[in-house]
């Protein structure tokens, strides 16, 4: 699973627009599924910044509340 996540992160760093925009959760946040998880990241100048890796069954809005 870690290898799959690492490979997906590498691809996202090259093509950050692949993920779904998630402005309802956080500004500039995007998500990309890698079952059973969802990667949450922000595009940055040199690729992406991984914000969270959560199980897809989680209540996402609650997970992003401060």
Neighbours of 37 (CB within 10 A): 19
Domain extent listing, the chain: 2-59
* Averaged pLDDT, 11-16: 97
Pairing of strands 47-55, 37-44: antiparallel
pTM value is: 0.88
CATH of 2-59, one of 2.60.40.10, 3.40.50.2300, 3.40.640.10, 3.30.2310.20: 3.30.2310.20
Q: Please write the tens of the pLDDT for every residue from 14-41.
A: 999 999 999 999 899 999 999 999 999 9
């Amino acid at each position: 699973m870690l290898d799959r996540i690492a490979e997906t992160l590498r691809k996202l760093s090259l093509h950050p627009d692949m993920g779904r925009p998630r402005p309802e959760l956080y500004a500039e946040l995007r998500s990309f599924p890698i079952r059973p998880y969802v990667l949450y990241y922000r595009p940055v100048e040199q690729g992406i910044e991984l914000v969270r890796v959560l199980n897809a069954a989680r209540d996402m809005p609650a997970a992003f509340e401060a």
